[in-house]
Amino acid sequence: MQMVGKKSHQGVALITVMLIVALAAIIAAQMTTRLQMQMQRSVNIGSNQQAYWYAMGAEEFSKRVLMTAFKDDKDVTHLGQIWAQEETTYPVEFGEITGQITDLQSCFNLNALATEKSKPNDENDDNSGSGDNNNKDDNSGDKENEGNNNSNNGNNKTVDPKTILKDLIVALNVDGIGEFEAESMTDSLTDWLDADGFITGTSGAEDDDYASREFPYLAANNYLASVSELRVVEHFTPQVIVALKPYVCVLENTNLHKININTISAEHPELLQALLSSNLDDAQQVLSARSEEGFESLEEFYNLPELSKIKLSEEQKKQFVVDSDYFKLRAKTSFNNSYFTLNSVMKVMDDQQINIISRTIGQN
């Protein structure tokens, strides 16, 4: 009986030891797993940080490119300059940098619908639509054309950003979108931007329209920060927003409406069609008549034979410039399978220095 009891105690001890070893093994495995996760997290943070610094390097490089481009051409911005390249990729250690600079005055500024009368927050900055004007050719272009007022007395075409946007939406031929739908969208965007609570037209939208939704919110009553913000504006559909994106942009905190005729893409004649209140063929002919170096002055543009039959009014002429102050860099970088996207809005100052107006991270 003694032998049986001794063997029983030995069996219990062995099982206890095995349980302790198994428990220690489990704890060690968990510690190892957590240590590996911590190490990988540290590596990921370092890689993300390096990708960020690559993007900041791309921004500095872009500023140098712009300064170089405008060193000799201070008064003219065109698509023949070194900044106006397609998306370019540069290999770097353990990754790559991809970047593209675009002219934010080659597209329609959606914030232009915030007119002086209804300007958000009653701001009276120098960046108003009637003329921010670091644009070097702007004032000279107006002076050049003061003497032409008499020749256009019979042409009283006015410039209304709402009408331009409506005409652009219609010109894009989005399925199911006509004059009425386009006008509803422009009315809603006007209400989104203005500071009052009154509905514009018959199809505008103010706080009550947004507050009654399943997930309620209020109208911004301020400038747009991104084109993507159209997704929350009444009447705008995903199809319209996708179609509009190549033609429109957002200049933050300004309703500036100045379009560089030299940098409008030849693939986007619909924008020029809306600006000129013309047909598509006439707009295409004007863009086809433009050389890669663009027009040296507004007068050269106005004297185009292709433009003579459109008979622009003085108000319409004031929309155009031949130089630009606002540019956007879209940089995408990678380092060790970590990715970073940076969108930087840059402004060319009078002394040819480049200021960063805003930065946004991620897809925009």
* Cα-only R_g, the chain: 30
The answer for residues whose C-beta is within 8 angstroms of residue 145's C-beta and 6 or more apart is 298, 299, 302, 314, 317
What are the tens digits of pLDDT across the range 344-360? 999 998 888 899 999 99
In contact, 303 and 293? CB cutoff 8 Å: no
What counts of helices (H) and strands (E) characterise the chain? 11, 9
Residue carrying the six token digits 């560089």: 260
CA distance 89 to 82: 15
Enclosing H/E stretch for 99 = strand 95-103
Distance from the Cα of residue 159 to its chain's centroid: 23
pLDDT for the residue numbered 225: 92
What are the tens digits of pLDDT across the range 231-283? 999 999 999 999 999 999 999 899 999 999 999 999 999 999 999 999 999 99
What is the three-class DSSP state of 350?
A: coil
Q: Is the pTM of this model over 0.85?
A: no
In contact, 157 and 277? CB cutoff 8 Å: yes
Highest mean pLDDT among 37-51, 100-114, 300-314: 100-114
What are the tens digits of pLDDT across the range 105-119? 999 999 999 975 555
pLDDT for the residue numbered 364: 65
What are the tens digits of pLDDT across the range 151-179? 344 456 678 999 999 999 999 999 999 99
Return the DSSP state at 227.
Answer: G
In contact, 353 and 292? CB cutoff 8 Å: no
- For residue 54, how many other CB atoms are within 10 A of its CB? 24
Average pLDDT, the chain: 86
More confident residue, 40 or 310: 310
CA distance 199 to 188: 8
Highest mean pLDDT among 24-38, 191-205, 301-315, 319-333: 319-333
Whole-angstrom CA distances from 333 to 50, 57, 58, 358, 364 are 9, 10, 9, 19, 15
Beta strand 338-348 pairing with 326-335: antiparallel
Enclosing H/E stretch for 174 = none
pLDDT for the residue numbered 127: 45
Domains and their CATH numbers in the chain: 45-73+86-101+326-361 (3.30.1300.30), 157-246 (1.10.40.60)
Amino acid making up residue 43? V
Distance from the Cα of residue 92 to its chain's centroid: 27
More confident residue, 287 or 40: 287
| DSSP one-letter string for 195-208 | SS-PPPTTT---HH
Whole-angstrom CA distances from 133 to 124, 224, 321, 345 are 14, 21, 11, 17
Whole-angstrom CA distances from 9 to 3, 19, 138, 153, 266 are 10, 15, 100, 115, 92
- For residue 13, how many other CB atoms are within 10 A of its CB? 10
Distance from the Cα of residue 4 to its chain's centroid: 85
Residues in the chain: 364
